Amino acid sequence: MKNICLKYILQLTFLLGTSFLWAQQNRVSATTKQNSNYDYHEAFAPFFLF
């Protein structure tokens, strides 16, 4: 079935992309330390754990 929202999505993608590229070009320096939500066990666990 046709995705009737496709045009809207592409336009939005373009606009957001443009604004992000602009934002990145104007950033000058380093980063602030954040807290991580990452859990490597959740992402990679190969075995079923009871």
Partner 1 sequence: MPLFFYSKDGTNTRSASGQPGFEYWQNKADYKLSAKLNESDNEITGTSSITYTNNSPDSMSFLWMYLDQNLFKEDSRGNAVIPITGSRNGAQGEIFDGGHKIKSVKIVTSVKGISTEKEAKYLINDTRMQVFLPQELKSRGGVVTIKIDFSFISPKEGSDRMGILGTKNGKIFSIAQWYPRMCVYDDIAGWNTNPYQGASEFYMEYGDFDVSITVPANHFVVCSGELINVSEVYTVDQQKRFSQAKQSDKTVVIRSKEEVLTAVNATTKTHKTWHFKMKNSRDVAWASSASFILDGARINLPSGKKSLAISAYPVESEGNEAWGRSTEFTKALIENYSKRWFEYPYPTAINSASIVSGMEYPGIVFSSYKDKGKDLWDTANHEFGHIWFPMIVGSNERLFAWMDEGFNTFINSLSSDDFNNGEYKDKPVDMHVIGLKYTNPDLETVMSSPDNMKEANIGDLCYRKPSVGLVILREQVLGAERFDLAFRTYIDRWAFKHPAPDDFFRTVENVAGEDLSWFWRGWFVNNWRLDQGINSVKYVDDNPKLGTLITIENFEKMVMPVVLDIKTKSGKISRLKLPVEIWQRNKDWTFKHNSTEEIESVVLDPDHVFPDYNESNNAWKSVK
Query: Which residues here bind partner 1, judged by CB under 8 A?
Result: 1-6, 9-10, 12-14, 16-17, 20-21, 23-24, 27-49
Both tokens assigned to 39: 């859990």
Give least dist CB 5 to partner 1, A.
4
Give least dist CB 34 to partner 1, A.
5
What are the DSSP calls for the chain, one per residue?
---TTHHHHHHHHHHHHHHHHHHHHT--S----------HHHHH--S---
Give least dist CB 15 to partner 1, A.
9
